[in-house]
Chains A and B, each alone.
Chain A
Amino acid sequence: MKHLLNNADYFLKEVKAIVRINLLSNILSFISTALIFFILAMVISGWWMSNHVIAVIQGEAEINAYFAESISSAEVIQLADAIKRIDGVREAQLINEGQAYARMVEILGKEARVLEYFDENPFSPFIEIKIHLERMDAVLAELHLLSGIEHVRDNRDVLERLRNLAGIIRFLGYLIVTAVGISTLVIISHIIRQGIDNNREQINTLRLLGAPESFIAFPFLLVGLLLSIGGGILATMLAAYALRYVYAQVAGPLPFIPLPPRETLVLNLIILIASLSTFLGIAGSLFGLFAAKNNQ
């Protein structure tokens, strides 16, 4: 560590010289690394968003049971009590027409104006049943056996579709992470090998002077890290900007989609891209160094 600090000025000058010798190649490598990380950031964001939406919907696992309008209020209360006793039901609560209307107004937000066109309240009362998700099938079967229940609405279809979508995004995520890993390793190791070839004479001189291999290799490792982390930083900035746009587009017209907080998403992206770019920068540089050594 002391060696590194004592020679910090030398290493920085070396990095500058290595980059300058092959400036165009280095700039193109930097841009490609940034774009690769940007694609990764966007796919990962989609993955996290869909996971969040599923988690929120799962957390609100509920079934709405609509009963015949002919049954009396006392019978409705009895029905709700019977439902509460079903294994897998956490809570059962009667929602009257007024409450149903108010909930829809809350969900629709500004668009709730549309409800004003109805002369009468279009919503029916129902029993809202909160359940343990894993017991959904059993609860549904029991509900159908109860007399007075006319119709049962559950969010299983929505959940299934979301799960399928999340599965596809996750698969895409794995593919992209693999592609990003391989591409970054190839780009960084190639640029390091090129740098070593261009500095062959100087490296030989350092070896003749007895310089440790770590001393010779360190500037190249720094170049790899600079390209990779620099690309990662640029990608994160682009992704943060793109996410702001996506949130503006989604949060306004589709307010009922429960997106995770943007700040948390961006912070997680920064942590992920920073760790990944550091790891890939070091790994790519080491690959390049080993490949160059084997070619001697």
Chain B
Amino acid sequence: MIEAKNLCLRYADGTLALHDINLHVEPGELVYITGPSGSGKTSLLKLFMGVEFPTSGTLKVLDHAVTKGQASNIRRLRMALGPVFQDFKLVKGRSSLENIMLGMRFFGFSSREIKENAREALIRVGLEHKAESLIENLSWGESQRVSIARAVVRKPALILADEPTGNLDRDNALNILEILKACKNEKTAVIITTHATHLINENDGRLIRLNGGAVERTDELK
């Protein structure tokens, strides 16, 4: 699912964001990536999404080589992913339902299928009563749940959630983690970056700690 070998990322200003990352993720896995600010968590997810490209080393995500200059390949990769962004990236002026529908507009589904699936996704994240609410009228936690619904509705092979619990209180954060954990199945792997290690210790899955752009430690959780 993800195959990273000797992965390095250096930004245009010379900052070395990641180095010597070797990583292998299997279908159905739940992986937490933690580490202090600036440790490279978001940079690693950006590489997985094809937003950034490796300076050296190789990276394959869902059988797509992540290399620069292959726009259509990267677009196909992004279509197969379920991204959850820290700042949600939801479209203002549109309802929750419309935002979720946006996630599957270009998959060739009929208008009716798009709407039905979007409603199901909203039920899954417990926001069916907010279907027609405008995004700007939702709380932080609700917006994050809509963002997760938009990722899930695409039935992706890989969900990438960047700091989904940031700015949330403990109850809301746990709720978001539970929803994301529930997305994991035989075919779908979930990768979550988070600061909140205290919230994930009780979960199963794999914990990868980054520090200074390198993998410091990997633990299996129980």
Contact = CB atoms under 8 A, between A and B. Distances in A.
A202 B92 CA distance: 9
Q: What's the dominant secondary structure at chain A's contact region?
A: helix
B51 A209 contact: no
A10 B90 CA distance: 15
Interface in B101-122: 101-103, 105-106, 108-111, 114
Interface string A74-115: 000000000000000000000000000000000000000000
Nearest to B82: A209
Interface string B57-87: 0000000000000000001111111010100
Interface in A1-49: 2-3, 6-10, 13, 17
Contacts of A2: 108
Q: In the complex, which range does the number of interface residues on chain A fall in? A: 20 to 34
B23 interface: no
A209 B89 CA distance: 10
B49 interface: yes
Interface string A207-248: 111111001000000000000000000000000000000000
Given A208-B51, A210-B76, A211-B106, A6 B111 contact: yes
A206 interface: yes
A205 interface: yes
B108 A10 contact: no
Nearest to B103: A209
Interface residues of B, number: 27
B108 A6 contact: yes
B118 to A, nearest CB: 12
A204 B114 CA distance: 21
Contacts of B83: 208-209
B108 A3 contact: yes
Contacts of A205: 89-91
A9 B105 contact: no
B110 A210 contact: no
A210 B51 contact: no
10 contacts: A6-B108, A7-B106, A10-B101, A205-B91, A208-B83, A209-B83, A210-B79, A210-B80, A211-B106, A212-B75
Interface of A: 2-3, 6-10, 13, 17, 201-202, 204-212, 215
